[in-house]
């Protein structure tokens, strides 16, 4: 719902519509991943996975 242009569509979600009806509510996308801490952690895990893969070690973050 939040990653598409839905200006011409009717919103079918009653909860979202209710929240949007309040004058003191602002609905925004979640941006938690865009912090320095989160991006640093992503980079560290990615680099560790590359090292582990090269050493034929099991990957801690592997999706099975």
pLDDT tens, residue by residue, 2-56: 566 767 777 788 988 899 899 999 888 777 788 899 899 999 999 999 999 999 9
What pLDDT, on the 0 to 100 scale, is given for residue 1? 56
Whether 32 contacts 38, CB under 8 Å:
yes
Residue of higher predicted confidence among 63 and 48? 48
What pLDDT, on the 0 to 100 scale, is given for residue 2? 58
Two tokens, residue 34: 């865009």
Q: Which residues contact 60 (CB under 8 A, 6 or more apart)?
A: 45, 48, 49, 52
What pLDDT, on the 0 to 100 scale, is given for residue 56? 93
């Amino acid at each position: 719902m939040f990653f598409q242009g839905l200006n011409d569509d009717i919103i079918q979600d009653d909860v979202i519509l209710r929240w949007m009806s309040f004058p003191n509510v602002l609905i925004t996308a979640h941006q938690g991943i865009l912090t320095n801490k989160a991006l640093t952690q992503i980079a560290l895990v990615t680099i560790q996975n590359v090292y582990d893969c090269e050493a034929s070690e099991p990957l801690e973050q592997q999706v099975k």
